[in-house]
Amino acid sequence: MAEKKTKQTAAKSKAKAKAGKAKETAKEKALKKSVAELEQNIQYLEQELDDQKERVAAAEEKMLRVVAEYENGKKRLEREKERSLSFAKDRVLAGLFPIIDNLERSAKYEQEHEEVDSDKHGVHLVLDQIAKYLKETNNIEAFDPTGEPFDPEMHEAMAMHESEEHESGTVLEVFEKGYREGDRILRVAKVIVSQ
């Protein structure tokens, strides 16, 4: 009987062990299921994070492009403004040059037909004042190429005359002076050239 009891106790122990294993297995299954769900959530969240990072990077790139376009537009507008001002100034000066030419003709006539010895009066004073103003405000000055070799970049030939005193291609006389701003020619000089 003792043997029977031992067998029964052993059987009960085996049954309890099986029941315990079954309970642990159910717990393990529940934990494994929870872990799997958490891992799935982590993967989903990582994917969402990567997507958000890509969106942020795309937005930053777009913003940088917009800022660059704005800066380029601003610089282009500034260049256009400078060009417009330069053209406006050139138009004003182009209208001023013929007035100066007429004043010079008047001054020359005055000088040839006046009895007074002083050559600094009337029209001459106005011409000197205009020349000084142009030089000081815009670095513009007249140039008289008499005696210089003809240069089509700086001179416009109005006529050609025979000359024994000068080499061919030399400026003999100036109808209208040229004007320059530094190295830039604003108006070429109108001249008579030797043949």
pLDDT category of residue 21 using cuts at 50, 70 and 90: low
Position with higher pLDDT, 54 vs 134? 54
CA-CA-CA-CA torsion sign (149, 150, 154, 155): positive
Position with higher pLDDT, 2 vs 65? 65
Kindly tell me if the per-residue pLDDT of 99 is higher than 60: yes
Which residues are CB-neighbours of 46 under 8 A, at least 6 positions away? none
Using alpha carbons, select from 155, 148, 154, 151 the residue that is nearest to residue 172: 148
| Long-range contact set of residues 66-72: C-beta below 8 Å, sequence gap at least 24 | none
Kindly tell me if the per-residue pLDDT of 7 is higher than 70: no
Span 103-111, mean pLDDT? 80
To the question of pTM greater than 0.75 for the whole model, the response is: no
pLDDT category of residue 194 using cuts at 50, 70 and 90: very high
175-191 pLDDT, tens digit per residue, is 899 999 888 898 999 99
Kindly tell me if the per-residue pLDDT of 111 is higher than 60: yes
Position with higher pLDDT, 61 vs 118? 61
| Other CB atoms within 10 Å distance of the CB of residue 191 | 27
Q: Does domain 139-195 have CATH number 2.30.22.10?
A: yes
Using alpha carbons, select from 141, 122, 123 the residue that is nearest to residue 132: 141
Domain boundaries, the chain: 2-138, 139-195
